[in-house]
Amino acid sequence: MNTTIIKGNIISAPELGKLDVTEHGYLVAEDGIIRGVYETLPEQYRGQPVEDYGEELIVQSFADMHLHAPQYPMVGMGMDLPLIQWLNTYTFPTEAAFRDNDFARETYRKLAAELVANGTTRVCMFSSLHREATIILMEELEKAGVTGYVGKVNMDRNGGVNLEETTEESVEETLRWLEQCHFEHIKPILTPRFVPSCTDELMERLGRIAREQNLPIQSHLSENTGEIAWVSELHPECSQYWEAYAKYGMWNDRTVMAHCVWSDERERKALKDAGVLVAHCASSNENLTSGYAPVRVMLNEGVRVALGSDIAGGDKISMFDVTADTIRASKARCVMDNWKTPFLTVSEAWYLATSAGSRFFGEKPGFAPGNPLHAIVLRDDNLVSTTRLSPAQRLERAVYRRQEHAVHAVFSAGKKVYTA
Amino acid sequence: MNTTIIKGNIISAPELGKLDVTEHGYLVAEDGIIRGVYETLPEQYRGQPVEDYGEELIVQSFADMHLHAPQYPMVGMGMDLPLIQWLNTYTFPTEAAFRDNDFARETYRKLAAELVANGTTRVCMFSSLHREATIILMEELEKAGVTGYVGKVNMDRNGGVNLEETTEESVEETLRWLEQCHFEHIKPILTPRFVPSCTDELMERLGRIAREQNLPIQSHLSENTGEIAWVSELHPECSQYWEAYAKYGMWNDRTVMAHCVWSDERERKALKDAGVLVAHCASSNENLTSGYAPVRVMLNEGVRVALGSDIAGGDKISMFDVTADTIRASKARCVMDNWKTPFLTVSEAWYLATSAGSRFFGEKPGFAPGNPLHAIVLRDDNLVSTTRLSPAQRLERAVYRRQEHAVHAVFSAGKKVYTA
């Protein structure tokens, strides 16, 4: 039995808006699986080595539930353009570069390192349509210690000359890719890019693969009003966008739909009834002027919501920053609703950035026994303050402001994968 | 004659929305004053040493036109509270700590270093009400290479037990402070905190000091609807908030008013007619749910606008980040106006963050001959990209994303004050 004991001020998010704090506590894992959080070390662990982080914070690491790996080279670019122009001018040409395996290897290694260094240890990630680059991405994530789902993108229309497959290629390459996926911590997820990128035939065949191989699914939904109008032209038989996924069997509790900015009451009910997870991407929605998702309403209605950086519609790789953007976007929503919709508090947004996402990977909220150990050790001793701050106040501050190399150590699936 | 020649990809903002780019150009200063930007080095400078930064960008450094130095210890805290509660719970107790000169020295030294390391070389800054701490702040800024204006805050009401002066103390301490201000690059600015903090008598006496000593003035205006209602109760004789400054002679082209979120057409006309500079503080307005200032409308109407970090209502010390927040806030405004108000482009926001602020210090826009040399050398060679980016694209990316230690060197008032 391999025992890990880390000591510090332990904070976890057991439910929306709640933080559990154990000052100078012990977080214990055996063979990478959390056994408990303790104020004093239980008898059976006495004498085992303890990694003592003193006054530092030990918090859950992040689950980034929506991001595009091949857009990493264009983070922060083209933000003055609206979604569809931005896709055609920046995104599709950038993704097309991943036909080059060497470039993919080098780029994805940097991305994986940057994710881990920022405390993101679980992802639900889009690759490009390239099968080989997708396998390279999965290898690099696995090596760096990132866990979760990665999808080879399917797109057999509207991608432009350098970024399109035929329907047949798309299906065959997907099947070959699925055969090649033998990773411990990185698993495949079916990834039709979004409705405008996939013909009906492709959607149907992907839906069948999902059923036959019991695979989760990720895509985009109701990000932007122009996109919604386009989908409605493409699928006049569907009264709402989501139905173009549901009709092909891509609408269940293993589905992640990014954005849902414009999901109205009926679409939200469909999300809730099916148990679909909404990956809310505040930074991206703000950058691309997509709108402000009704997150508070979704939470009140029982829709599952977690957070995504949406690199590169989003410009923030650090989920600390994405959490802050999530709060700010909810404040914009509050102002737009004439101060009638309460904004997300720091502890609520923190829950969405951690526990809400990790649930998609089968975990219980917080540092619950039975969860794999995913944690960030965070230091802030170099920041000035006039009074002694509580651990919860220090976490709040960390969402907005961190010293250089604030992330001191990161644990993923039981292993220490990063030390500053 | 002391000649400085720096070489690189030089970008400046000569007017709103325009960038001047000189690839592999020379920026020349003599005795700290810019002589010109040249594609080839003029004859008279041949043989002089050139600091060659290769492919790096050379851009104007930032003017942060509104921030509170004594709120530096609480950056990122209490953001879930509305303005007045946030002031009473966090701000006033934190500012009260600056009665301790040693704490002030240590804290302000860190602040000054962080400003310079982030390329902020000109400020228009609030201190606390403490005269001695204000002098310490000015000393530390001057030593670090920050230039601009600092004000001892005046507040003789509504500050709470630990943060209030009598009217007499406020005036006397202000006069003593003004006598002590003998700095080369840091000058005094009169700083009535805001109308609710200053009795009519204090305002009148400060207005007189401003006239007698020919001083600029900074304060807050129309940040929040609750605050506006309060001012209207305190000054029933004024039909609008700004008139409570104007009636005491504090409304002219050497006045900076922070926020102006809720300034309507009449108040905006008063701003424009008097030539008052609006310090727009997007990060703060979003954090404190104050609202979204009508910046586009102000610019169209000819109101002068520059940017402020508003530490600690704002959480971003880097003005790169403040610039990105400014764009995002303008996008929120665009969405609120049903996509009818165009958002600020990167080059527009960049102008506001640099040239628009530096004008308050008597400079011409961009790297104009006659301006003191204020510049940032910026590197991005560690960021991945699929194509060769133009300098303007690289600047755009830098607003959103920068590598570690991206700020390579900073020049302020002709001197190199920082190297990474």
Look at residues A308, A257, A319, A320 and name the one whose alpha carbon lies nearest to residue A284: A308
What is the model's pLDDT at position A82?
A: 78
Checking if the pLDDT of B157 tops 90, the result is yes
How far apart CA A62 and CA A247 sit, in angstroms, is 32
* % of chain A exceeding 70 in pLDDT: 100
Handedness of CA B338, A232, A83, B315 (dihedral sign): positive
Give chain B positions within 8 Å (CB) of A80: 343, 345-346, 396
For chain B, say whether A234 makes contact (Cβ under 8 Å): no
Whole-number average pLDDT of chain B: 97
Whether B183 contacts B227, CB under 8 Å: no
B225: tokens are 């609807």
Is-contact B346 B333, C-beta < 8 A?
no
Please tell me the distance in Å from B94's CA to the nearest CA on chain A.
6
| Contact assignment for A74 to B385 by CB distance below 8 Å | yes
Q: In this structure, what DSSP letter does residue B351 have?
A: H
For A402, the closest chain B residue by CA position comes to: B76
Out of B110, B334, B335, closest to residue A384 by CB: B110
Residue B18 has pLDDT above 80, yes or no: yes
Q: A274 Cβ partners below 8 Å, 6+ apart?
A: A246, A251, A252, A253, A255
CA B138 vs CA B116, B184, B219: distances in Å: 14, 10, 19
Name the 3-class secondary structure at B229: helix
Distance CA A370, CA A214 (A): 24
B399 vs A contacts (CB less than 8 Å): 76
> Does the pLDDT at position A28 exceed 90?
yes
Contacts of B384 in chain A (CB under 8 A): 72-73, 106-107, 110
User: Please, which contacts does B36-39 make with residues 24 or more away whose CB atoms are closer than 8 Å?
Assistant: B36/B369, B37/B10, B37/B12, B37/B367
Residue-wise pLDDT for B203-213, tens only, equals: 999 999 999 99
Q: For position B82, what pLDDT does the model report?
A: 78
Say if CB B406 and CB B53 are below 8 A apart.
no
B398 vs A: CB within 8 A: yes
Name beta bridge partners: B192: B154
Contacts of B94 (CB under 8 A, 6+ apart): A386, B70, B71, B73, B74, B312
Q: With the C-alpha atoms ordered B225, B226, B230, B236, is the resulting torsion angle positive or negative?
A: positive
A358-391 per-position pLDDT tens digit: 999 999 999 999 999 999 999 999 999 999 999 9
**B229 touching chain A per CB within 8 A:** no
Residue pLDDT, tens place only, B211-248: 999 999 999 999 999 999 999 999 999 999 999 999 99
Is the Cβ pair B346, A401 closer than 8 Å? no
Which is nearest to B312 in space by CA: A385, A327, A19, A329?
A385
Q: Is B251 helix (H, G, I), strand (E, B) or coil?
A: coil
| Cβ-nearest to A384 among B107, B286, B324 | B107
Please check whether residue B346 is in contact with residue B330, taking contact to mean a CB–CB distance below 8 angstroms: no
Q: How would you write chain A as a 3-class SS string? A: CCEEEEEEEEEEEEECCEEEEEEEEEEEEECCEEEEEECCCCHHHCCCCCEEEEEEEEEECEEEEEEEHHHHHHCCCCCCCCHHHHHHHHHHHHHHHHHCHHHHHHHHHHHHHHHHHCCEEEEEEECCCCHHHHHHHHHHHHHHCCEEEEECEECCCCCCCCCCCCHHHHHHHHHHHHHHCCCCCEEECEEECCHHHCCHHHHHHHHHHHHHHCCCEEEEECCCHHHHHHHHHHCCCCCCCCHHHHCCCCCCCCEEEEECCCCCHHHHHHHHHHCCEEEECHHHHHHCCCCCCCHHHHHHHCCEEEECCCECCECCCCHHHHHHHHHHHHHHHHHHCCCCCCCCCHHHHHHHHCHHHHHHHCCCCCCCCCCECCEEEECCCCCCCCCCCCHHHHHHHHHHCCCCCCEEEEEECCEEEEEC
The full 3-state SS of B45-71, as one line of letters, equals HCCCCCEEEEEEEEEECEEEEEEEHHH
Q: Quick check: A328 contacting B, CB < 8 Å?
A: yes
Contact predicate B155/B198, CB 8 Å: yes
B289 touches chain A (CB under 8 A): yes
Asked if the model's pLDDT at residue B161 lies above 80, the reply is no
User: For residue A298, what pLDDT band results from cuts at 50, 70 and 90?
Assistant: very high
pLDDT tens across A100-123, in order?
A: 999 999 999 999 999 999 999 999
A324 chain-B contacts, CB cut-off 8 A: 315
- Look at the pTM and tell me if it is higher than 0.90: yes
Neighbours of A47 (CB within 10 A): 8
For residues A322 and A314, the answer to whether their CB atoms sit within 8 Å is: yes
- pLDDT grade for A310, boundaries at 50, 70 and 90: very high
- Say whether residue A297 is in contact with chain B using an 8 A CB cutoff: no
Question: Token digits for A33?
Answer: 């699986």
Q: Give the mean model confidence (pLDDT) for residues B51-73.
A: 98
Confidence at B1, pLDDT banded by 50, 70, 90: confident
CB contacts, 8 Å: B331 with chain A = 286-287, 289
Nearest residue on chain B to A99, judged by CA atoms?
B386
CB contact under 8 A, B292 and A332: yes
Closest among A103, A133, A76 to B386, alpha carbons compared: A103
Separation of alpha carbons A132 and A108, rounded Å: 12
Q: How many residues can be counted in chain B?
A: 420
Distance CA B133, CA B108 (A): 9
Dihedral, CA atoms, B150, B152, B158, B161, nearest 10 degrees? 130
Which residue of B338, B401, B405, B407 to mutate against A (max A Cβ within 10 Å)? B401
What stretch of H or E contains B301? helix B295-301
Q: Which of A77, A107, A327 sits opposite B396 (nearest CB)?
A: A77
Contacts of B163 (CB under 8 A, 6+ apart): B92, B93, B95, B96, B128, B129, B155
The residue among A163, A400, A407 with the most chain B CBs within 10 A of its CB, best to mutate, is A400
For chain B, the distance separating the N- and C-terminal CA atoms, rounded to the nearest angstrom, is: 27
B160 pLDDT above the threshold of 90: no
What's the maximum distance between 2 C-alpha atoms anywhere in chain B? 68
| β-strand partners of B58 | B10, B377
Alpha-carbon span A144 to A412, nearest angstrom: 10
Query: How far is residue A211's CA from residue A250's CA, in Å, rounded to a whole number?
Result: 9
Asked if the C-beta of A94 comes within 8 angstroms of chain B's C-beta atoms, the answer is yes
Closest chain B C-alpha to A387 CA, distance in angstroms: 8
d(CA A128, CA B40): 44
β-bridge pairing A147-151 and A186-188? parallel
Once rounded to an integer, what is the mean pLDDT over residues A17-45? Answer: 98
**Which residue from A286, A343, A386 is facing B328, i.e. has the nearest CB?**
A286
CB contact under 8 A, A335 and B336: yes
Q: Which distant-in-sequence residues (6+ apart) come within 8 Å of A392 by Cβ?
A: A11, A19, A21, A347
CA distance A284 to A362: 27
Contact A359/B at CB under 8 A: no
Instruction: Tell me the pLDDT tens digit for each residue of A133-147.
Output: 999 999 999 999 999
Task: Give the residue from B344, B347, B324 showing the smallest Cα distance to B334.
Answer: B344
Residue A392 in contact with partner chain B when CB distance is under 8 A: no
Q: Which two tokens stand for residue A227?
A: 């996109």
Query: In this prediction, does ipTM exceed 0.85?
Result: yes
In the predicted model, what is the mean pLDDT of residues B29-51? Answer: 97
In the block, residue with structure tokens 């991943």: A98
User: B181, B155 in Cβ contact below 8 A?
Assistant: no
Q: Find the residue in B nearest to A392 (Cα).
A: B77
Tell if the CB–CB gap between B73 and A324 is shorter than 8 Å.
no
Residue identified by tokens 């944690």 is A375
Contacting residues of A for B108, CB less than 8 Å apart: none
Only one residue has tokens 């994530």, namely A141
Contact check, Cβ <8 Å, A73/B384 = yes
List pLDDT tens digits, range B165-192: 999 999 999 999 999 999 999 999 999 9
Residue of chain A with shortest Cα separation from B81: A345
- Candidates A73, A76, A291; nearest CB to B335: A291
Could you give the angle at which helices B319-336 and B391-400 cross, rounded to 10 degrees? 80
What tens digit of pLDDT does each residue of B260-274 get? 999 999 999 999 999
Amino acid at B228: I
In this predicted model, what pLDDT tens digit does every residue of A313-353 receive, in sequence order?
999 999 999 999 999 999 999 999 999 999 999 999 999 99
Q: Which of residues 96-135 of B touch A (CB under 8 A)?
A: 97, 103, 106-107, 110
Which of A169, A115, A149 lies closest to A219 in space, CA to CA?
A149
Mutation target vs B (from A71, A80, A292, A345; most B CBs, 10 A cutoff): A80
Place of tokens 């005094």: B188
Contacts A79 to B, Cβ<8 Å: 327, 346, 396, 400
For residue A304, what are the β-bridge partners?
A: A277
Q: Is A398 on the interface with B (CB under 8 A)?
A: yes
Cβ-based contacts of A76 with chain B (< 8 Å): 396-401
Question: How does the average pLDDT of chain A come out, rounded?
Answer: 97
Q: Kindly list the structural domains of chain B, giving each domain's residue range(s) and its CATH number in brackets, ordered by start.
A: 3-61+364-419 (2.30.40.10), 62-353 (3.20.20.140)
Chain A and chain B share a number of CB contacts under 8 A equal to: 115
